[in-house]
Amino acid sequence: MAYDFSRHGMPPPLVHIGYPKALSSWLQKHLFKPEQGFINALDSLRTTISVIDPTPFRFDESVAVRFIEESLAACPGPDRLVPVCSAEALVGNPYCGGYNARLNADRIHQLFPDARILLVVREQRQLMRSLYKTLVVWGMPHTIRRLLNPCDTSLAPQFNLDFLRFDLLTDYYQQLFGRDNVLVLPYEAFTQDPPAFVRRILQHAGREPTAAFSKLPWQKRLNVNQPLADIYLQRLLNLLLSSPFNYAGPLPSTEAGVHRRIRRSKSGTLPAFTRDWFEDDFRQTVAAAFAGKFGDSNRRLEQLTGLALASYGYDLAEAHHTEQQPR
């Protein structure tokens, strides 16, 4: 059952699908607000509950519809605003390699077939660094080497480099919604020119900048670049936590504990001189694992979107395939 925003005199919705660690928090906290011309009709939490979490045979559109109606009823004059559904988890579960990304896309299309889609991507090595930190804060005990080298993948979904091949997700959303209705922007474009980046989003949503546009906190970063040294220490402590990543841990992992880990990850408790050791090791490990893995995908993404990714530091090199010599 598709939700018809036109019944409220509203335009088609803007659906922001991710990626995590690619400006999602900033967009949700600052741009997708009534003063900027938007109404958060289905926020991240309610999208997770109603769209992402239901198992394959339990998805019920009426749950999302109820959430949307509640959001519209709580906002005076919603017909003046563009409805937004924003949840970075729509790109799929990162720990499990985005295994549910296509299912999420199908459900979004079922709910909002006339939606305009926004996808923010980020250079793969930098995105991996931020994703790894987030997973460790959530309770994951794996080293970066273990995460990037899954085993027995037929037994359970695990991390997969396809999660970072942005062309796959882009192509599928373009098939569902039409090429002109899918806007892909690089996170790095925001760091270079924030107002121009946001104007692209407004144009895609059919909005003009409001009087509050100039008041957006262009320089504010909600997720600062925390040192990896403390993250490595937290990874060791995670071996003791009972969590979805480690059922055998003897200590319970609570929501309050997660919030404490988030605060601790930003504090930088270890000596500053240790940071380079961990940064160099992580950078070399990821560089070796990613070498030659994303050039084809990034070039295809350029073809699908018209982006010039090389100017933002994305790898566009062709993979070198070593031919086996006959004996």
From first to last of its 327 residues, what are the pLDDT tens digits of the chain?
A: 899 999 999 999 999 999 999 999 999 999 999 999 999 999 999 999 999 999 999 999 999 999 999 999 999 888 899 999 999 999 999 999 999 999 999 999 999 999 999 999 999 999 999 999 999 999 999 999 999 999 998 888 999 999 999 999 999 999 999 999 999 999 999 999 999 999 999 999 999 999 999 999 998 765 556 678 788 888 999 999 998 999 999 988 877 877 777 666 666 666 666 667 788 899 999 999 999 999 999 999 999 999 999 999 999 988 665 444 443
Distance (Å, whole) CA 327 – CA 325: 6
- Answer yes or no: is 312 within a domain: no
- Answer yes or no: is 135 within a domain: no
- Answer yes or no: is 64 within a domain: yes
- Answer yes or no: is 94 within a domain: yes
- Answer yes or no: is 144 within a domain: no
Residue with the two structure tokens 């933002």: 312
Q: At 16, which helix (H) or strand (E)?
A: strand 14-18
Q: What is the CATH number of the domain that holds 171?
A: 3.40.50.300
Q: Are the beta carbons of 39 and 84 closer than 8 angstroms?
A: yes
Q: What is the DSSP letter of 293?
A: T
Q: Is 26 helix (H, G, I), strand (E, B) or coil?
A: helix
- Answer yes or no: is 81 within a domain: yes
Q: How many CA within 13 A on the CB side of residue 162? A: 14
| pLDDT tens profile 273-327 | 666 778 889 999 999 999 999 999 999 999 999 999 999 999 998 866 544 444 3
Number of domains in the chain: 1
pTM over 0.95: no
- Amino acid identity at 168: L
Q: Specify which residues 119 forms β-bridges with.
A: 18, 184
- Answer yes or no: is 152 within a domain: no
Q: Is 271 helix (H, G, I), strand (E, B) or coil?
A: coil
Q: Are the beta carbons of 246 and 139 closer than 8 angstroms?
A: yes
Domain, as residue range, for 75: 5-127+161-215
At 219 the pLDDT is: 85
- Answer yes or no: is 101 within a domain: yes
Q: φ, ψ for residue 39 (rounded to 5)?
A: -130, 130
